[in-house]
Copies of this chain bind each other. A is one copy, B any other.
Amino acid sequence: MSTTDRPLRRDAQRNRDLLVAAARRLYATRGLDVPLEDVAREAGVSIGTLYNRFPTRGSLVDAALASKVASAVEFAEQAVATEDSWAGFVWFLERTCELQASDRGYNDLCASQLDDAVEVTALKERGAGLLRQVIDNAKRAGELRADFDDGDFAFVLWGTTRTIEATGEHAPNAWRRHLAFMLDGFRAAAAHPLPAPPLEPDEVARAMRRLSGT
């Protein structure tokens, strides 16, 4: 929410809007690694202008996708407020996956960590806090297995992310099946001892950063 030090000149603001709109369109269909030249062309603006407005890759991603991340955070808020906490947990996972399935760029973003996308990063942090509550509630209700940890959410993310990436075009509902299997494994009644400790928060962050490089 960079409260503009000085407002942009009218033409500059117009170009900024065109660029963000273009980025949203191209990210959604082609993913985050669409060439910047393509974004500029789609916006009807020169590549230099793009660099004037968005000096880093992350800053453009931020402007284009922060609102989607924000809506994911809202989902988490609603999930926390759900009385049936297992249902809230399931509902939250389904909503975020739907978001991922509907926007390839958002899907990419979920499995990565762009350090200079500051707004997105801040929102993610808020989401992480809420998610922890969702998880705790579902555990307290006895439906979510007690050995489930925050860090295990990453497994859902990595799994469905890849499934959506692979099948999004031809089998747009395949992720629902993948998620359903995982959910069945998350139920307390299904629990068998786990062979490895959960990931620490910093390990998750590092792992996400590794995926961004590829």
Contact surface of A with B, Cβ cutoff 8 Å: 31, 111, 152, 154-155, 158-159, 161-163, 165-167, 169-171, 173-174, 176-178, 180-187, 189-192, 194-199, 203, 206-208, 210-211, 214
Contacts and interface: CB of A to CB of B under 8 A. Distances in A.
Contact of A170 (B161, B187, B206): B206
A181 B199 CA distance: 14
A156 to B, nearest CB: 9
Contact of A159 (B31, B158, B191, B206): B158
Given A181-B185, A192-B180, A162 B158 contact: yes
B159 A203 contact: no
Nearest to A184: B185
Contacts of A174: 196, 199, 203, 207
Contacts of A194: 177, 180-181
Nearest to A206: B170
A62 to B, nearest CB: 22
